Amino acid sequence: MKRRPVTIQRQWTAALLAVTLLAVLPLSAAAHGPKGHGGEGPTPLAITEKGIALFNQLIEKGKLDDTWEANFAGATVTTRMADGKMEYVVRLARAKADPEAVYIFFDAKGDYSGSNFTGK
């Protein structure tokens, strides 16, 4: 069997494939976060995003008036123990109004578990 010479085009194709694989493989390995698949619960960022999405739905449905959006002052996420279980608390604040914050609660899995104006 006769061996074909390696051309410049084939060398560039091989190099491009190698560079692409080196760039893509680490991204796909990290796609599930640093802790791998499931079992660890949501990140604070994911909980914040869920809280803000629910906050926007409450405004759209008229359960919170437009001053909540117009005077929005910020969001924070904390955790606490409630009935022996960890839960996330998203505090969405507004300026110059009463009540000054709405609290949205998510369980350790990131499922919505309630909301109120007191944080309790």
Provide the residue ranges of all domains of the chain, joining segments of one domain with +. Answer: 44-116
What gap in Å lies between CA 51 and CA 61, rounded to an integer? 15
What is the pTM for the complete model shown?
A: 0.65
**pLDDT per 10-residue tile (average), the chain, 120 residues:** 51 42 41 51 90 92 90 92 91 91 94 91
> Which of these, 111, 110, 120, lies nearest to 43 by C-alpha position?
110
pLDDT of 3: 58
pLDDT of 101: 94
Q: Which residues contact 105 (CB under 8 A, 6 or more apart)?
A: 82, 87, 88, 89, 90, 112, 113, 114, 115
pLDDT of 13: 44
Helix H or strand E segment including 115: strand 112-116
pLDDT of 106: 94
pLDDT of 82: 84
Q: From residue 101, give the alpha-carbon distance in Å to each of 74, 93, 94.
A: 9, 4, 6
Q: Is 88 helix (H, G, I), strand (E, B) or coil?
A: strand
pLDDT of 7: 47
